[in-house]
Structure 1
């Protein structure tokens, strides 16, 4: 009913041609015209709706001007923001650069302090090592002297033992020789010689001794030889 009451002055398509095609396809004249009017009303309604929503040229120019003004304002704001950001970034960069310089200086100072501490520790350690080395050398020398003294004592004891063994051996030999000599004297004293035996090695001064039956040492020696 809405489409029928609406009066359309513009035809958006060939209505007569549409009605003819519908009649050829089996529709009656009234049905074909009804379909044509319905389509015409539908198209006209939506066309009017689109036209109502469309802008006029003046509105379009006004909107374009407003858009350009807003765009210019936005560009200006962006430039200001960019400048502010650049200035803030430059300030931050300067602050960071100063902090980096301060950190570098502090780092160099810390490195110098560490190097000094290391040098002091190294010198102290070298002194400790030298003292330990001297103490070790003293201990080694003391041990060496002690060992040399012990070796000297052992050598002295060995020499004393050798001398004692030699002395005991010489005493044993002397005692053995004395015993053998005494046994030989006793043995030769018990032998009886003829009264008329004259020993050519005996002196005439010893004749009295011979007459008493005492055998002189020279006789014993000559007899043993």
Structure 2
């Protein structure tokens, strides 16, 4: 507390017309007000040590939170990588299966065509119409296979876009939380 010269203040009051007992009463009242105000102010204050403890506790909480976020982020990235690898393997299997089916279909179609061509030489106009029907069926099957392959490609593309969007969201979330 700064020093307060109560005797000097009492003499100033007496010069202004206060009696000695009145000046003493004013000084006592001022001392009581100052003492009460000091008590009220210091009750709301905390010590520097308490402040440091609180700051350290917050720092520890933030360090733990950062560690938890990094751990969760690492797990999420690993999960996405794992899912992507599984998807790539599934896509490769699907491509191989489709290629095998296409080769088998093409081989079957070629065989049918060769047989039909041989029969056409020996058969009548009616057999010629049958060959035409067979060619149309083959074209429809090939078109159906192409349509099916297009649908599968679109499903794969949608899944990949979803996966990339999810990974982008994780990266943006990471960037957001790290700043």
TM bucket (normalised to shorter chain) is: 0.3 to 0.5
- If asked which structure has higher relative contact order (CA below 8 Å, sep 6+), I would say 2
Give the greater-gyration-radius structure (CA).
1
Q: Which structure shows the higher helix fraction?
A: 2
| TM-score scaled by length of structure 1 | 0.34
